[in-house]
Amino acid sequence: MKKIVNKSITLALSKGRIFEDTMPLLAEAGIKVNDNPEKSRKLIIQTSDPNLRILILRASDVPTYVQYGAADIGIAGKDILIEHSAQQPGGLYQPINLNIARCRLAVAVRQDFNYKDAVKQGSRLRVATKYIRSAREHFAAKGVHIDLIKLYGSMELAPLVGLADAIVDIVSTGDTLKANGLVVVEDIIPISSRLIVNQASLKNNVASLQPIIDAFSRATNLYE
Protein backbone atom coordinates (compact mmCIF):
# COMPACT_ATOMS: atom_id res chain seq x y z
CA MET A 1 0.00 0.00 0.00
CA LYS A 2 1.32 3.43 -0.97
CA LYS A 3 2.00 5.73 1.96
CA ILE A 4 0.42 9.14 1.53
CA VAL A 5 1.71 10.44 4.85
CA ASN A 6 5.47 10.65 5.43
CA LYS A 7 5.57 11.87 9.05
CA SER A 8 3.25 10.66 11.82
CA ILE A 9 -0.18 12.21 11.79
CA THR A 10 -2.93 11.79 14.34
CA LEU A 11 -6.54 12.15 13.19
CA ALA A 12 -9.27 12.72 15.81
CA LEU A 13 -12.72 11.28 15.07
CA SER A 14 -15.88 10.48 16.99
CA LYS A 15 -17.77 7.18 16.82
CA GLY A 16 -21.03 6.87 14.92
CA ARG A 17 -22.03 8.97 11.93
CA ILE A 18 -18.77 10.90 11.63
CA PHE A 19 -16.62 7.78 11.79
CA GLU A 20 -18.82 5.91 9.30
CA ASP A 21 -18.93 8.82 6.86
CA THR A 22 -15.16 9.34 7.14
CA MET A 23 -14.32 5.77 6.08
CA PRO A 24 -15.14 6.35 2.38
CA LEU A 25 -13.00 9.51 2.44
CA LEU A 26 -10.04 7.55 3.84
CA ALA A 27 -10.69 4.77 1.32
CA GLU A 28 -10.42 7.35 -1.47
CA ALA A 29 -6.96 8.12 -0.10
CA GLY A 30 -6.17 4.39 -0.16
CA ILE A 31 -6.30 4.10 3.64
CA LYS A 32 -8.05 1.35 5.59
CA VAL A 33 -8.57 1.27 9.36
CA ASN A 34 -7.48 -1.75 11.35
CA ASP A 35 -10.35 -1.79 13.92
CA ASN A 36 -14.02 -0.92 14.10
CA PRO A 37 -14.63 1.38 17.11
CA GLU A 38 -18.20 0.03 17.45
CA LYS A 39 -16.71 -3.41 18.22
CA SER A 40 -13.29 -2.71 19.64
CA ARG A 41 -12.76 -0.73 22.83
CA LYS A 42 -9.46 0.62 21.57
CA LEU A 43 -9.20 4.39 21.65
CA ILE A 44 -6.19 4.54 19.31
CA ILE A 45 -6.72 2.80 15.99
CA GLN A 46 -3.91 2.14 13.56
CA THR A 47 -4.47 2.33 9.83
CA SER A 48 -2.99 0.69 6.74
CA ASP A 49 -0.77 3.78 6.53
CA PRO A 50 1.85 3.29 9.28
CA ASN A 51 2.14 7.05 9.67
CA LEU A 52 -1.55 7.72 10.23
CA ARG A 53 -3.35 6.80 13.44
CA ILE A 54 -6.87 7.62 14.58
CA LEU A 55 -8.06 8.70 18.04
CA ILE A 56 -11.64 7.79 18.97
CA LEU A 57 -13.13 10.60 21.08
CA ARG A 58 -16.40 12.06 22.27
CA ALA A 59 -17.56 14.40 19.49
CA SER A 60 -17.33 17.46 21.75
CA ASP A 61 -13.70 16.64 22.63
CA VAL A 62 -12.44 16.47 19.01
CA PRO A 63 -11.80 20.26 18.66
CA THR A 64 -10.02 20.32 22.03
CA TYR A 65 -7.56 17.56 21.03
CA VAL A 66 -6.83 19.34 17.74
CA GLN A 67 -6.58 22.79 19.28
CA TYR A 68 -3.97 21.63 21.82
CA GLY A 69 -2.05 19.62 19.21
CA ALA A 70 -2.75 16.18 20.75
CA ALA A 71 -4.20 15.44 17.31
CA ASP A 72 -3.00 17.15 14.12
CA ILE A 73 -6.34 17.02 12.35
CA GLY A 74 -9.88 16.08 13.21
CA ILE A 75 -13.39 15.92 11.89
CA ALA A 76 -16.15 17.66 13.79
CA GLY A 77 -19.69 18.84 13.14
CA LYS A 78 -20.41 22.53 12.78
CA ASP A 79 -22.72 22.21 15.82
CA ILE A 80 -19.77 21.14 17.96
CA LEU A 81 -17.43 23.75 16.47
CA ILE A 82 -19.84 26.60 17.21
CA GLU A 83 -20.03 25.58 20.87
CA HIS A 84 -16.27 24.96 21.10
CA SER A 85 -15.35 28.36 19.67
CA ALA A 86 -17.58 30.05 22.27
CA GLN A 87 -15.53 28.46 25.04
CA GLN A 88 -12.04 28.11 23.59
CA PRO A 89 -11.59 30.46 20.64
CA GLY A 90 -8.62 30.27 18.24
CA GLY A 91 -6.08 27.63 17.30
CA LEU A 92 -8.03 25.78 14.61
CA TYR A 93 -8.12 25.95 10.84
CA GLN A 94 -11.32 24.71 9.24
CA PRO A 95 -10.08 24.15 5.70
CA ILE A 96 -12.79 21.94 4.24
CA ASN A 97 -16.49 21.47 4.60
CA LEU A 98 -16.56 17.69 4.10
CA ASN A 99 -20.31 17.67 3.55
CA ILE A 100 -20.61 14.48 5.59
CA ALA A 101 -22.80 13.66 8.61
CA ARG A 102 -25.31 16.19 7.34
CA CYS A 103 -28.19 17.13 9.61
CA ARG A 104 -29.70 20.31 11.08
CA LEU A 105 -29.98 22.05 14.40
CA ALA A 106 -33.62 22.69 15.23
CA VAL A 107 -36.09 23.69 17.92
CA ALA A 108 -38.55 20.92 18.81
CA VAL A 109 -41.51 20.74 21.19
CA ARG A 110 -44.19 18.27 22.22
CA GLN A 111 -46.89 17.83 19.59
CA ASP A 112 -49.46 19.30 21.99
CA PHE A 113 -47.41 22.39 22.89
CA ASN A 114 -48.55 25.55 21.07
CA TYR A 115 -45.15 27.07 20.39
CA LYS A 116 -46.44 29.82 18.08
CA ASP A 117 -48.86 31.12 20.70
CA ALA A 118 -46.28 30.90 23.45
CA VAL A 119 -43.88 33.02 21.37
CA LYS A 120 -46.64 35.45 20.33
CA GLN A 121 -47.69 35.96 23.95
CA GLY A 122 -44.08 36.66 24.93
CA SER A 123 -43.97 33.73 27.36
CA ARG A 124 -40.64 32.91 28.91
CA LEU A 125 -39.64 29.49 27.57
CA ARG A 126 -37.57 26.81 29.22
CA VAL A 127 -35.20 25.36 26.65
CA ALA A 128 -33.10 22.24 27.24
CA THR A 129 -30.01 21.72 25.11
CA LYS A 130 -26.34 20.94 24.97
CA TYR A 131 -25.99 23.62 22.27
CA ILE A 132 -25.98 26.61 24.64
CA ARG A 133 -24.43 29.19 22.31
CA SER A 134 -26.54 28.28 19.27
CA ALA A 135 -29.73 28.26 21.35
CA ARG A 136 -28.94 31.56 23.08
CA GLU A 137 -28.17 33.30 19.78
CA HIS A 138 -31.22 31.87 18.03
CA PHE A 139 -33.73 33.00 20.66
CA ALA A 140 -31.98 36.34 21.24
CA ALA A 141 -32.30 37.09 17.51
CA LYS A 142 -36.03 36.35 17.73
CA GLY A 143 -36.44 38.42 20.89
CA VAL A 144 -37.74 35.40 22.80
CA HIS A 145 -36.85 35.20 26.50
CA ILE A 146 -35.60 31.82 27.59
CA ASP A 147 -34.18 29.96 30.53
CA LEU A 148 -31.54 27.56 29.26
CA ILE A 149 -31.11 24.16 30.86
CA LYS A 150 -27.84 22.47 29.96
CA LEU A 151 -28.11 18.75 29.22
CA TYR A 152 -25.54 16.30 27.87
CA GLY A 153 -27.77 13.89 25.93
CA SER A 154 -31.27 12.40 25.51
CA MET A 155 -32.64 15.93 25.12
CA GLU A 156 -35.90 14.53 23.71
CA LEU A 157 -36.87 13.41 27.19
CA ALA A 158 -36.93 16.91 28.68
CA PRO A 159 -40.28 18.13 27.24
CA LEU A 160 -41.90 14.76 27.99
CA VAL A 161 -41.29 14.98 31.73
CA GLY A 162 -41.84 18.71 32.17
CA LEU A 163 -38.19 19.70 32.44
CA ALA A 164 -38.45 22.02 29.43
CA ASP A 165 -40.94 23.52 26.98
CA ALA A 166 -38.60 23.08 24.03
CA ILE A 167 -35.30 21.52 23.05
CA VAL A 168 -32.57 22.60 20.67
CA ASP A 169 -31.05 19.48 19.17
CA ILE A 170 -29.67 17.81 16.08
CA VAL A 171 -32.24 16.33 13.73
CA SER A 172 -31.08 13.90 11.09
CA THR A 173 -33.75 11.42 9.99
CA GLY A 174 -36.30 12.84 12.47
CA ASP A 175 -36.90 9.33 13.84
CA THR A 176 -35.89 10.17 17.41
CA LEU A 177 -38.28 13.13 17.60
CA LYS A 178 -41.09 11.09 16.08
CA ALA A 179 -40.55 8.17 18.45
CA ASN A 180 -40.91 10.58 21.37
CA GLY A 181 -43.91 12.58 20.13
CA LEU A 182 -41.94 15.75 19.38
CA VAL A 183 -42.09 18.01 16.32
CA VAL A 184 -39.72 20.54 14.80
CA VAL A 185 -41.04 24.10 15.06
CA GLU A 186 -37.97 25.99 13.79
CA ASP A 187 -34.81 25.17 11.91
CA ILE A 188 -31.75 26.95 13.26
CA ILE A 189 -28.86 25.99 10.99
CA PRO A 190 -27.85 23.23 8.56
CA ILE A 191 -24.97 21.14 9.92
CA SER A 192 -22.21 19.17 8.25
CA SER A 193 -18.75 18.10 9.32
CA ARG A 194 -15.56 20.07 8.83
CA LEU A 195 -11.95 19.01 8.63
CA ILE A 196 -10.15 20.95 11.35
CA VAL A 197 -6.39 21.34 11.52
CA ASN A 198 -4.03 22.39 14.31
CA GLN A 199 -2.37 25.61 13.17
CA ALA A 200 1.11 24.73 14.46
CA SER A 201 0.95 21.23 12.89
CA LEU A 202 0.04 22.72 9.55
CA LYS A 203 2.97 25.11 9.76
CA ASN A 204 5.54 22.52 10.93
CA ASN A 205 4.23 19.47 9.15
CA VAL A 206 2.72 20.75 5.94
CA ALA A 207 4.44 18.11 3.78
CA SER A 208 2.62 15.32 5.62
CA LEU A 209 -0.66 17.08 6.19
CA GLN A 210 -1.21 18.53 2.74
CA PRO A 211 -1.59 15.17 0.94
CA ILE A 212 -4.24 14.02 3.37
CA ILE A 213 -6.05 17.38 3.27
CA ASP A 214 -5.96 17.15 -0.54
CA ALA A 215 -7.22 13.56 -0.45
CA PHE A 216 -10.15 14.57 1.78
CA SER A 217 -10.82 17.51 -0.46
CA ARG A 218 -10.93 15.32 -3.59
CA ALA A 219 -13.07 12.69 -1.87
CA THR A 220 -15.47 15.37 -0.63
CA ASN A 221 -16.37 16.19 -4.20
CA LEU A 222 -17.96 12.73 -4.28
CA TYR A 223 -20.67 14.08 -1.99
CA GLU A 224 -21.54 17.13 -4.05
Q: Does 167 bind ligand PRP (CB under 6 A)?
A: no
40's enclosing H/E stretch is: none
For ligand PRP, the binding residues in 136-155 under the rule CB under 6 A are 153, 155
User: What residues does 108 pair with on adjacent strands?
Assistant: 167, 184
Supply the minimum distance, in Å, between the C-beta of residue 65 and ligand PRP.
Answer: 17
Q: Which is nearer to ligand PRP, 17 or 126 (CB)?
A: 17
Q: Are 54 and 44 within 8 A, CB to CB? A: yes
Three-class DSSP category at 10 = strand
CA distance 49 to 32: 8
Supply the minimum distance, in Å, between the C-beta of residue 88 and ligand PRP.
Answer: 20
Q: Which of 4, 169, 193, 198 binds ligand PRP (CB under 6 A)?
A: 169
Q: Which is nearer to ligand PRP, 6 or 172 (CB)?
A: 172
48, 91, 50: which is closest to 73 by C-alpha?
91
Count, residues near ligand PRP per rule CB under 6 A: 10
Three-class DSSP category at 42 = coil
Supply the minimum distance, in Å, between the C-beta of residue 82 and ligand PRP.
Answer: 14
Contacts to ligand PRP by CB under 6 A: 153, 155, 169-176
